[in-house]
Amino acid sequence: MKKAVAYLEPFMEQEKRDAGIENDDARGTFLIATVKGDVHDIGKNIVGVVLQCNNYKVIDLGVMVSSETILEEAEKHKVDMIGLSGLITPSLDEMVHVAREMKRKRMTIPLLIGGATTSAKHTAVRIAPVYDGPIIHVLDASRSVNVVEKLISKEHRDAFIADNVEVQKKLVASFQERKQKLVPYGEALEKRFATDWRTVQIDKPSFTGVRVLEDFPISEIRPYIDWSPFFMTWELKGKYPKIFDDAKVGPHAKELYDDANALLDEVIAARSLKANAAYGFWPAASDGDDVILFTDESRSSELTRFHFLRQQWERQGQKDYRSLADYIAPIDSGREDYIGGFVVTGGLGAETLALQYKTALDDYKALMVSAVADRLAEAFAELLHQKARQEWGFGKTESLSTEDLIEEKYRGIRPAAGYPACPDHTEKRTLFDLLEAEISTGVRLTESFAMTPAASVSGLYFAHPEARYFTVDRMLKDQVRDYARRKGMPLAEFERWLSPNLAYEPS
């Protein structure tokens, strides 16, 4: 276990000295969980290992844990504090719910918030107001010991909590004073990203419908791995391979890299991880901010629709307001266009393998399995996108290195539901149904539309020559109301799903 955080220990000890903590007398019990509907746990697991290395008792409830279970276990074990983790945006609302339940139960223990979608500002604005106890956002695992030590320390606790309250007050004030001009939805539609549909190049895929890649060789996926995010998982900042030359973190990065590749050798030899994919292309046309998918090339029968959101905020130097629908030829343009979609996983078997290592008390290798599976999923998505571009025709002349692929030096994009260009996670359901992904890949959606196994990636393919990624960001009620109408669902429901993007307070 110590090896899992060996590179963090000098930093952690320095933080303890900075906090004025000179000994290890003050220890307590820490409960940690990934909230209901979410399955991502690498960061949470690293926090757990870091705290155990510092002699804290850690009760790890795992993933997809309900508020009821979290609070029941907290009361049962008389824990000193609770830590919540989450990656997808619906988890933010679930964290608010847990905090409200803690208040209802008249709890006062500290609540720590962490995970990729969380932030100090969101914690201050949305979570802290609903709970009377201390609520602290923890930026990363290396900071967890410092935070926990201060909260446990009789000498430093009150001052730390008071400082945290002051910081959160400033964050709330900054949020309330933010200045971002948003235009009415109708105006944003009028100023959409424009294409000359008479002349733009539109290529026809070599097939339409769905294809499945089952038990794809991991040895073929391996060369597509982008290692830079792997080091970020372990909180080592630097770009691969230059990170190895860093005097401070280089040796640790090289050790992690060598261990990861040794594990990959083992996984490939033992076939202990399995990679599956499903992808496809469909005849398509845009209809406002919807994209219609047709059953066949006759384009006479609608199969389904993807629903997209549009930018409404004014950006300096930008004259258009983009929606992903802008990258598909309008239904009345006279052009025949296409859209693609995919689901991949590199994580089938990862949970079982990680559990084997945990049972053998090898937390380091258990963490490494999750980190490597995540990288395999992203690498498989990169490999499959390259294959899709070739089968779409326009990618046949590509001659790109792995570095070129990582830097996206190719035509087309693959945005994912729940991310900046299409923040609505519920659109995954349409994609999964189209691909019959649960059956064909083994990847399932949780009630919050997180994918499980966690080491999975899904998204859409757009081939427009000028397609690029963008951020929808905040929206006015006029667009959210129209979006709910187009989806045929209650406004209040989508205000909940899109709460991080709302520029107004729902009634």
Q: How many CB atoms lie within 10 A of CB 179?
A: 4
pLDDT of 12 above 60? no
DSSP character string of 173-236: HHHHT----B--HHHHHHTPPP--TTTS--PPPS--EEEEE-S--HHHHGGG---HHHHHHTT-
Q: Which of 9, 64, 59 is nearest to 35 (CA)?
A: 64
The chain-wide mean pLDDT, for the chain, equals 93
140 is catalytic: no
CA distances from 467 to 322, 415, 458, 461 (A): 10, 10, 18, 10
pLDDT of 19 above 50? no
Instruction: Return the SS3 of 344.
Output: strand
Model pLDDT for residues 172-210, shown as the tens digit of each residue: 999 888 778 999 999 999 999 999 999 999 999 999 999
Asked whether 108 and 132 are in contact (CB, 8 A), the reply is yes
Of all residues in the chain, the percent with pLDDT exceeding 90 is 82
Which pLDDT score, from 0 to 100, does residue 235 have? 85
Please state, in angstroms and rounded to a whole number, the distance separating the CA atoms of residues 145 and 229: 23
pLDDT of 315 above 90? no
Please state, in angstroms and rounded to a whole number, the distance separating the CA atoms of residues 363 and 10: 20
Mean pLDDT of 77-82: 96
In the structure, what pLDDT confidence band is assigned to residue 83 with cuts at 50, 70 and 90?
very high
Which pLDDT score, from 0 to 100, does residue 9 have? 52
Render the burial of 404-421: b for 16+ CB within 10 Å, e for the rest.
ebbeeeebbbbbbbbeeb
91 is catalytic: yes
- Angle in degrees, 0-180, between the axes of helices 42-53 and 141-152, rounded to the nearest 10: 50
Model pLDDT for residues 84-94, shown as the tens digit of each residue: 999 999 999 99
**Has this prediction a pTM greater than 0.85?**
yes
Residue with the larger pLDDT of the pair 7 and 273:
273
- Angle in degrees, 0-180, between the axes of helices 67-77 and 90-104, rounded to the nearest 10: 40
Asked whether 495 and 445 are in contact (CB, 8 A), the reply is no
Going by the DSSP 8-state scheme, the letter that residue 262 receives in this structure is: H
Could you tell me the two tokens for 251? 């040796």
Strand-pair category, 274-287 with 337-348: antiparallel
40 is catalytic: yes
pLDDT of 391 above 70? yes
In the structure, what pLDDT confidence band is assigned to residue 4 with cuts at 50, 70 and 90?
very low
Mean pLDDT of 14-28: 53
Which pLDDT score, from 0 to 100, does residue 11 have? 45
Least confident of 102-111, 319-328, 375-384, 493-502: 493-502
Please state, in angstroms and rounded to a whole number, the distance separating the CA atoms of residues 110 and 149: 12
Least confident of 21-25, 309-313, 347-351, 401-405: 21-25
Which pLDDT score, from 0 to 100, does residue 23 have? 44
Q: Which of 369, 363, 365, 368 is nearest to 350 (CA)?
A: 369
Which pLDDT score, from 0 to 100, does residue 1 have? 45
Mention every residue, 6+ apart, whose C-beta is less than 8 A from residue 482.
Answer: 185
Mean pLDDT of 286-304: 98
Please state, in angstroms and rounded to a whole number, the distance separating the CA atoms of residues 454 and 456: 5
Looking at the DSSP bridge assignments, the partners of residue 114 are 85
Mention every residue, 6+ apart, whose C-beta is less than 8 A from residue 37.
Answer: 64, 88, 90, 91, 94, 446, 447, 448, 449, 450
In one-letter notation, the amino acid at residue 106 is R
pLDDT of 2 above 80? no
- Among residues 67, 85, 91, 456, the one annotated as catalytic is 91
Which pLDDT score, from 0 to 100, does residue 24 have? 47
Instruction: Return the SS3 of 374.
Output: helix
Mention every residue, 6+ apart, whose C-beta is less than 8 A from residue 344.
Answer: 275, 276, 277, 279, 377, 380, 381, 384, 441, 456, 457, 458
Of all residues in the chain, the percent with pLDDT exceeding 70 is 95
Which pLDDT score, from 0 to 100, does residue 211 have? 98
Instruction: Return the SS3 of 35.
Output: strand
The secondary element (H helix, E strand) that includes residue 445 is: strand 444-445
Asked whether 495 and 502 are in contact (CB, 8 A), the reply is yes
Mean pLDDT of 421-428: 97
Model pLDDT for residues 119-160, shown as the tens digit of each residue: 999 999 999 999 999 999 998 877 888 999 999 999 999 999
- Among residues 38, 80, 93, 374, the one annotated as catalytic is 38
Which pLDDT score, from 0 to 100, does residue 454 have? 95
Please state, in angstroms and rounded to a whole number, the distance separating the CA atoms of residues 450 and 456: 10
